[in-house]
Structure 1
Amino acid sequence: MTINVGGTFFLKPGSICRMVLMAGLVGMLLPAAGCTSTSTNNAPTALTEGPRDTGSYPNLNIPPKVAAKQLTKEETAANLAQLKAEEQTQIAKGSGVKAPANSAALNTLAKTHGADTLKQIEGKCDPALDPSCN
C-alpha cells in the first residue's frame, strides 16, 4: 500500500509539471547568480593606468621589426605566373611513372614494398634496389 501512495504522489501529471518548472527556474537563476560582482571600480585597469614597460618579453607596445623585404604586387604576380607556367609544362609532360598493367604485379609490389623500404631506412639496403647503397 505504501508503494501505491508513493507512486501516485510522485507520478501524478501535476507533480511532474511542477518538478520540470522548478528545474527550469533553478536552471535560469544559477547562471544569473554568477554574473554578480562586488567590484567598486568598473573601469578596466588598462584604460586607467595605460601601457607600461615591465621589462619582460614581449613588449607589445613596440611594433616588431620586419624579418625580410615584403614582395610587391608586381613580384607576386610574376612569381605566380612562373608557377602557373611550370604547372602547365608538368601537365604537358604527363606522368613519368607508369602503373603495372596486371594486378599480380601490384600484389607483389604491395607485399615486398614495406620490407624493402624498411631495409633502406634501417641502413641494410639492397644494392639491387638502391645503386647508391654501400
Structure 2
Amino acid sequence: MTAGIEKAAGSRVRYFLAIAVAATALGLSACASNGPSGSSAQGASSLASGNVVGPRDTGSYPNLNIKPGQAAPQFTDAEAQAKLRQLNAERASAQNPARSKGVKDESAALRKLAATHGPDTLRQIEGKCDPALDPTCK
C-alpha cells in the first residue's frame, strides 16, 4: 500500500520539477534579447535620432539652479475676482438647489407632520379598529 503512495508522490515531484525547469528556461530566454526590437543596432539608431522619451544620459549632472518657467499664463486680479464670484454663486446654489429653482419651502409643515405622526399612528393602532384604515372593520 505504501509503495503506491511513494510512486504517486515521486511522479508529482518530477512533474513540478519539469514545470520549474521550463519556467526558468523561458525566463532566461526573455532576458537574452536586446529590448523589444530584438537587435541592438536598431536600438542604437533610435537613440541617435532623438526620438527617446524620458531621461537621457548627457554625461554631466543636471543644473538644479535653473528657475523653472511658468506652465501657463497667470490670472490677473480681475480674472481671479470674477472666477471667485462665479465659484461662490455656484456654491450657494449647490447648498440649496431647490431654493434657486423657486421651490416653495414646506419645512414647517413637514416638521409639524413629524411631531404629530407618531402619536396619531399609536392612536390608530390602539383603537384596534379604524374604519378609515380598514373598510372591513365593524
Shorter-chain TM-score range? 0.3 to 0.5
Q: Higher helix fraction: Structure 1 or Structure 2?
A: 2
TM-score (norm 1): 0.37
Whichever of the two has the greater Rg, that structure is 2
Where relative contact order (Cα < 8 A, 6+ residues apart) is larger, the structure is: 1
